[in-house]
C-alpha cells in the first residue's frame, strides 16, 4: 500500500499542529543503493514541504558496496539510520546489525531499530491464522510485549558489543522499557523514543465492532493500561528521550480493509503527525504527569540533539533558526477526522477532547501557521545534519 499522506499533505498537518521539522524514513530497496533511496525521497519532498525536513536512512540489505555508501550519506547530511528486527522484507541479521553499528559509528551517526523478534512474530501469526483467529482483536497476540522486550535486549547488547550508541524507536511496552533501562544500568548508551499512541490508546481498541479495530493496527501494537502507566512514569523520570509519531497513514476504507479476512494483511500504521504536540501537552502537562520543560525537551530539544540539528533547531537563541511555537495552554479542542489536515479518512483519536493548542507557529522566523491554518505551504528546506550529540559530548 502507498500511504495516504504525501510530503505536501503530511508536512502541512505537521506545521499546523506545531511541528516545524520532520525527519522521514528513506528506505533502501532490496538490491538497491542508499544513494538511490535518498535521491528518490529528495524528489518527493523538493519544493512541496511546508516544514523543514531531513531523512533517516532505512537499511534493508547490507553488502560491502552498501557499507561504502555510509560516508556518502554523511556527506549528504544523513547521519541517522534504521534497521528492522522484524518484517521479512526489511529485516537484517544480527551480524549485519553489528556491522552497521560499527560503520555508522565511524561517521558519528546513530542507528535506531524496530525492536520485535521477527521469527517469533511470524510463528505466532501463523498459529493464530491456523486457528481461524483472523480479526483485528488478534493482532496484539501476534506481537506480544515479550517479543519487543527480547529484541530490545538483543539490540542493546549488540550496541554494547559494537561500542556504539543505539536508539530504541517507537517503544511500546513496560517489558521493552525495562530491558532498555537495564541496558543503561550496565553501561550501554541507549536512547529511548516512544509515541503518543502508546501513552493514550490501549489494546482494548482492537476489540471494537464492525472492523473498527483495524484503525488501530500498528506495530508494535497498542499495549495494556499498565504499560501506559509505566511509560508515563518513565516520562516523569526523564527516562524517555524523544517523542515521535511513527506517522504512517492508511485509509480505513480501501486500505485497512485489505485485511478484513486476515489481520496480518491490514496495513500497519497510525496517522499522528498533526496531533503529537497537543496529545502530549494535554495528557502530559495539563494532566500533571510531566512538566512543561519535559514536554519541550522530549518533543524538540532532545530530538534536535540526538539527530544532529542542535542548536540550529531545538533552541531559541541568536543564530538558531527561530522556529517558535506560541502555545495556548487553555484552548479546548475536540479532535476529529472532519477537521484534520492529515490526508486520511479517520483519526484514532476521534472525539477526544484535548487541552492546549498551537496559536502561532514560526518557521525560521516567519509565521507559517496560525490557529490551525497553514499560511505558507512550501517553505520547507532540506536540513543536512551533523553528528549525533553523543559524539559531540565525547569530544568536548
Q: pLDDT tens digits for 211-269?
A: 999 999 999 999 999 999 999 999 999 999 999 999 999 999 999 999 999 999 999 99
Task: Give the pLDDT confidence score for residue 210 in this predicted structure.
Answer: 97
Strand partners, 84: 114
- Which residues is 112 bridged to in the sheet? 82, 167
Which residues have a Cβ under 8 Å from the Cβ of 331 and sit 6 or more positions away?
A: 355, 356, 357, 359
Domain 7-395 belongs to what architecture? Answer: Alpha-Beta Barrel (3.20)
Q: How many CB atoms lie within 10 A of CB 394?
A: 12
pLDDT tens string 16-27: 999 999 999 999
Q: Is 53 left (phi over 0), alpha (psi -120 to 50) or beta?
A: beta
Give the three-state DSSP class for 277.
helix
Please give the average per-residue pLDDT across 39-61, as a whole number. Answer: 98
Q: Which residues pair with 58 in a beta bridge?
A: 27, 82
1 CB neighbour count, 10 Å cutoff: 15
Mean pLDDT of the chain: 98
Alpha-carbon span 124 to 114, nearest angstrom: 18
Given a contact cutoff of 8 angstroms between Cβ atoms, the answer to whether 196 and 245 are in contact is: yes
pLDDT of residue 127 exceeding 70, the answer is yes
Q: Could you tell me where the DSSP H helices lie in 19-81?
A: 34-45, 64-67, 70-75
Contact between residue 123 and residue 141 where contact means Cβ atoms under 8 Å apart: no
Residue with the three cell numbers 558496496: 65
Cell numbers that stand for 47 in this block: 519544493
Neighbouring CB atoms inside 10 A of 214's CB total: 24
Beta bridge partners, 166, equal 111, 190
pLDDT at 395 over 80: no
- State the pairing for strand pair 373-374/366-370: antiparallel
Q: Three-state SS for 82?
A: strand
Residues belonging to the chain = 396
The residues that bridge with 175 in the sheet, in sequence order, are none
Per residue in 100-111, pLDDT (tens digit) is 999 999 999 999
Strand-pairing partners, residue 191, are 167
Angle between helix 174-185 and helix 145-162 axes, rounded to 10 deg:
20
Question: Which of the 8 DSSP states describes residue 268?
Answer: P
| Distance in angstroms (rounded) separating the CA atoms of residues 298 and 275 | 15
Residues 166-197 pLDDT 10s: 999 999 999 999 999 999 999 999 999 999 99
Q: In 10 A of CB 217, how many CB atoms? A: 23
Which of these, 18, 50, 20, lies nearest to 326 by C-alpha position?
A: 18
> Considering the chain, what percentage of its residues have pLDDT values greater than 90?
97
- Over its C-alpha atoms, the chain yields an Rg (Å, rounded) of 20
Q: Give the pLDDT score at 1.
A: 73
Say what the pLDDT of residue 204 is.
Answer: 98
Q: 3-state DSSP call for residue 346?
A: coil
Cβ atoms 228, 199 nearer than 8 A: yes
Is the Cβ–Cβ distance between 153 and 145 less than 8 Å? no
| Number of alpha carbons in the 13 Å side-chain half-sphere of residue 213 | 25
Q: How far is it, in rounded angstroms, from Cα 364 to Cα 366?
A: 6
| DSSP code per residue over 11-35 | HHHHHHHT--EEEEEEEPPTT--HH
Q: Where residue 391 falls among pLDDT bands split at 50, 70, 90?
A: confident
Please measure the distance between the N-terminal and C-terminal CA atoms of the chain and give it in whole angstroms. Answer: 46
**Longest Cα pair distance anywhere in the chain, in angstroms?**
62
Cα(81)–Cα(58) distance, integer angstroms? 6
- Please report where in the chains the cell 511496552 appears, as a residue: 173
**How far apart are the C-alpha atoms of 180 and 191, rounded to whole Å?**
8
Tens digit of pLDDT for each residue in 300-345? 999 999 999 999 999 999 999 999 999 999 999 999 999 999 999 9
| Per-residue pLDDT at 393 | 67
Amino acid at each position: 500500500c502507498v500511504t495516504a499522506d504525501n510530503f505536501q499533505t503530511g508536512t502541512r498537518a505537521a506545521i499546523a499542529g506545531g511541528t516545524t521539522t520532520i525527519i522521514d524514513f528513506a528506505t533502501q530497496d532490496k538490491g538497491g543503493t542508499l544513494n538511490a533511496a535518498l535521491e528518490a525521497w529528495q524528489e518527493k519532498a523538493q519544493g512541496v514541504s511546508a516544514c523543514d525536513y531531513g531523512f533517516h536512512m532505512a537499511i534493508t540489505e547490507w553488502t560491502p558496496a552498501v557499507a561504502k555508501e555510509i560516508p556518502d550519506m554523511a556527506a549528504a547530511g544523513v547521519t541517522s539510520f534504521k534497521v528492522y528486527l522484524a518484517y521479512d522484507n526489511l529485516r537484517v541479521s544480527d551480524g549485519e546489525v553489528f556491522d552497521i553499528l560499527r560503520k555508522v559509528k565511524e561517521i558519528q551517526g546513530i542507528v535506531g531499530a524496530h525492536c520485535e523478534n521477527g521469527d517469533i512474530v511470524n510463528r505466532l501469526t501463523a498459529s493464530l491464522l491456523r486457528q481461524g483467529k483472523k480479526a483485528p482483536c488478534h493482532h496484539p497476540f501476534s506481537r506480544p510485549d515479550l517479543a519487543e522486550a527480547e529484541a530490545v535486549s538483543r539490540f542493546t547488547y549488540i550496541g554494547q558489543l559494537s561500542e556504539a550508541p543505539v536508539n530504541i524507536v517507537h517503544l511500546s511496552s513496560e517489558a521493552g522499557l525495562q530491558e532498555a533501562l537495564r541496558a543503561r544500568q550496565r553501561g550501554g548508551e541507549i536512547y529511548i523514543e516512544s509515541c503518543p499512541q502508546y501513552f493514550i490508546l490501549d489494546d482494548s481498541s482492537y476489540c471494537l465492532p464492525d472492523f473498527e479495530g483495524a484503525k488501530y493496527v500498528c506495530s508494535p501494537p497498542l499495549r495494556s493500561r499498565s504499560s501506559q502507566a509505566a511509560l508515563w512514569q518513565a516520562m516523569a523520570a526523564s527516562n524517555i528521550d524523544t517523542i515521535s509519531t511513527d506517522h504512517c497513514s492508511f485509509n480505513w476504507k480501501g486500505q485497512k480493509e485489505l485485511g478484513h479476512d486476515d489481520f496480518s494483511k491490514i496495513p500497519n500504521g497510525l496517522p499522528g503527525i498533526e496531533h503529537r504536540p497537543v496529545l502530549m501537552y494535554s495528557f502530559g502537562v495539563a494532566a500533571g504527569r510531566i512538566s512543561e520543560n519535559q514536554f519541550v525537551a522530549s518533543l524538540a530539544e532532545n530530538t534536535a540533539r540526538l539527530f544532529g540539528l542542535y542548536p540550529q533547531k531545538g533552541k531559541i537563541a541568536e543564530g538558531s533558526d527561530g522556529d517558535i511555537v506560541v502555545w495556548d495552554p487553555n484552548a479546548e479542542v475536540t479532535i476529529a477526522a472532519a477537521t484534520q489536515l492529515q490526508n486520511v479518512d479517520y483519526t484514532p483519536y476521534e472525539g477526544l477532547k484535548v487541552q492546549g493548542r498551537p496559536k502561532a507557529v514560526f518557521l525560521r522566523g516567519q509565521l507559517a501557521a496560525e490557529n490551525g491554518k497553514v499560511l505558507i505551504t512550501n517553505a520547507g528546506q532540506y536540513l543536512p545534519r551533523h553528528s549525533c550529540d553523543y559524539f559531540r559530548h565525547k569530544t568536548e
